[in-house]
Structure 1
């Protein structure tokens, strides 16, 4: 009887642990499959970001957002999807638009910024988790934002390594900016520079601030305050998601 009791208690404890670990998924299931969000249009934004830390400092390389004026943020952006549209169309997919998103242009076509009906939210997340028919790292954005623009030397950074350090999700938060509920997913990758690349990052950190060049080296304090100051005056905003680089949330 004692053994049976022990096994039963073990199973209950394990079951409670599973429920606790998956509580966010259970809450999301309830809200989107049964609750008030079932028929609402839910916006997704699914991105990869680079943590580019200047060696031996608490400073980070950020770039200007091409859409949001005067905002600095991590290198990276929305993943792109591949394959046909049949699966997405079955979810009632609609690309970003000016009303509840950033709209779509030639450069942002196929970005993982879109809306689906709430009842399909979990299907989208399962698809994303598989990593099929989509980008799984922001290497393309690194090349476009830093090498093509000449911010970093493409010869020095022709090949580079990184590691995935965290995934952060924000589910069904209300966006005042986009006027809709959204689910945000960010993968954060840390650049692993070799010796030549470390020297290049240290060198760029010594350049005088010039936002016309499209980048800035900012401190941890700047990121916490979400603003960059020069001579006591704010010269740029810093996007909220940049806090993910310093192990904070937003």
Structure 2
């Protein structure tokens, strides 16, 4: 709801209140009609606002509750790689949390192209996880005022001035270290499955509330060589596990290796 609509609604309510204390019938009637017009104008503006934000109704409370409080935002992509009823997970290489998770990582944004918009939205890098050359410009950010979260998500979903292809993390986690052969995986086929959001939650790790947004992609191996290479990942017992849906839900493999909590997002709903 924009400022004009808010002012219109407030003026209308003030007019209704004034009518309580006015005794002259003709004056009271005139003020009531004017107030009703202002309230209807504000109501129309509210309806338009709700329609425009219908995809983000679950986040509208950020405009009301703790609107000026900060929130940590992570926007990532995760690969669903399934082989014979089990899902390929890789050992997390960062030391803040130890365990296995889907192949994937944070999207990146283009710093210079987004400078003006991010300044307006109050976007700043989040350093709860130390940054380096590989994590620079990751969409692990801090919004100074969570009331701007909807506008930030609208920017992301517009696909402007940001990374769009999930190939980078697939390459960095599986091809570059030699877990998959580069000549076999010069190209990969994948399909977008869904997006997953959890709302704003209290972080179990960081001293700030979190909003986590993930896009899920399913790998579709195209050749027998690719299918065989994926199946052979099971031989890399330290870096890779093949986990069942039940193991993912309980947060550990049957041999006791930890599966990180966000992994459930790759499971079919």
TM-score (norm 1): 0.79
1:111 aligns with 2:138: yes
1:76 aligns with 2:101: no
Per-residue Cα deviation, 1:210-248 (whole angstroms, up to 9, x for no partner): 21xx22222222212111232xxx2x2111121122225
Structure 1 stretches lacking a partner, 5+ long:
1-14
Per-residue Cα deviation, 1:62-108 (whole angstroms, up to 9, x for no partner): 1111114531000001000014122112222221123xxx2322211
Tell me the equivalent position of 1:43. 72
Tell me the equivalent position of 1:62. 89
CA RMSD of aligned residues (A): 2.0
| Helix, strand or coil at the partner of 1:43 | strand
Tell me the equivalent position of 1:222. 247
Please tell me whether the aligned partners of residues 249 and 264 of structure 2 are also in contact (alpha carbons under 8 angstroms). yes
Please tell me whether the aligned partners of residues 188 and 245 of structure 1 are also in contact (alpha carbons under 8 angstroms). yes
| Helix, strand or coil at the partner of 1:237 | coil
Please tell me whether the aligned partners of residues 42 and 182 of structure 1 are also in contact (alpha carbons under 8 angstroms). yes
Work out the number of aligned pairs and report it.
Answer: 215
Please tell me whether the aligned partners of residues 243 and 253 of structure 2 are also in contact (alpha carbons under 8 angstroms). yes
| Helix, strand or coil at the partner of 2:196 | strand
| Helix, strand or coil at the partner of 2:71 | strand
Please tell me whether the aligned partners of residues 233 and 240 of structure 2 are also in contact (alpha carbons under 8 angstroms). no
Please tell me whether the aligned partners of residues 48 and 137 of structure 1 are also in contact (alpha carbons under 8 angstroms). no
CA distance in structure 2 between the aligned counterparts of 1:175 and 1:69, rounded to whole angstroms: 13
TM-score (norm 2): 0.74
| Larger Cα-atom Rg | 2
Please tell me whether the aligned partners of residues 95 and 104 of structure 1 are also in contact (alpha carbons under 8 angstroms). no
Q: CA deviation at 1:169?
A: 0.9
Per-residue Cα deviation, 1:134-155 (whole angstroms, up to 9, x for no partner): 1123210000000011111111
Tell me the equivalent position of 2:200. 172
| Helix, strand or coil at the partner of 1:238 | coil
Tell me the equivalent position of 2:177. 149
Structure 2 stretches lacking a partner, 5+ long:
1-46
Which protein has the bigger strand share? 1
Which one scores higher on RCO, CA 8 angstroms, separation ≥ 6?
A: 1
Tell me the equivalent position of 2:124. 94
CA distance in structure 2 between the aligned counterparts of 1:103 and 1:91, rounded to whole angstroms: 23
Per-residue Cα deviation, 1:28-64 (whole angstroms, up to 9, x for no partner): 22x222x22211001110001111111xx11111111
